[in-house]
Amino acid sequence: MKKFPVICPEGTIVVICQWFKPEHDAVDFVIRNPNISDRENARLTYGTQLVAPINSKCVAINDFGTMQELGNGVDIEWMEGGYYWRLHFWHTVYNKVKLGDQVTKGQVVGLMGNTGACLPKPTPERPYDGTHCHMRLSRYVKDPWGGNINIVSLDPCKYFDINNPYQGSDSSVVVDLEPIKWAFDKLGITSIYQKLLYFFNNIFS
């Protein structure tokens, strides 16, 4: 099995909050430190780095903020065992790659967040609520015209080892811009917030 595609700071573990099943063809996960409160864990999870589990290519970028159910997201694709594989990370607060980028194994592709429809819904008083990653894994072949056919959704936890994530120091966003984010989301200008977040995250982290 490959490593679970998230960087966990020391003392944290990956926790699945919704498992793969027919009506939910993905897994939702967070990171948790068992020694702190749920509210502190939500803040810890926010901005956690999501990584590519294998050399791949960014084939889709979503930048919808709160305007669509799945929010922001990144899709990466690779070829393995005669199939194409595609991994989706949704509800990101910021995407660290661009469409068409070649991505190396272990490279950060996005930061976990709570864009889109997340429960519990974030509020000004609890701006980190609902933070998680919705991760979907699919396998397919391509037809002669380059279209994806015979698409099968697979349980990510059968391919990525939940007990073996990538390890790192505190991987979350270091500058607290959440009050700005909430206001920008409500105004429908999340992309401006993301640019601020990218600036602060790269300057101070």
pLDDT at 90 over 80: yes
**The total number of structural domains that make up the chain:** 1
- Taking the CA atoms of the chain, what radius of gyration do you get in angstroms? 16
Give 176-196 pLDDT, tens digit per residue.
Answer: 445 555 555 555 555 555 555
| Three-point CA angle 103, 19, 72, nearest 5° | 45
| 142: confidence class by pLDDT, cuts 50, 70, 90 | confident
| 134: confidence class by pLDDT, cuts 50, 70, 90 | very high
For residue 197, the model assigns a pLDDT of 53
Give 8-52 pLDDT, tens digit per residue.
Answer: 888 889 999 999 988 889 999 999 998 988 888 888 889 899 999
Give 145-172 pLDDT, tens digit per residue.
Answer: 877 878 899 999 999 999 999 887 554 4
Beta strands in 63-201 (DSSP E): 72-80, 83-95, 102-103, 108-112, 133-142, 148-154, 160-168
For 43, the domain range is 2-204
Q: What is the DSSP letter of 44?
A: H
195 SS3 class: helix
Q: The domain that contains 173 carries what CATH number?
A: 2.70.70.10
The predicted model gives 104-109 an average pLDDT of 94
pLDDT at 81 over 80: yes
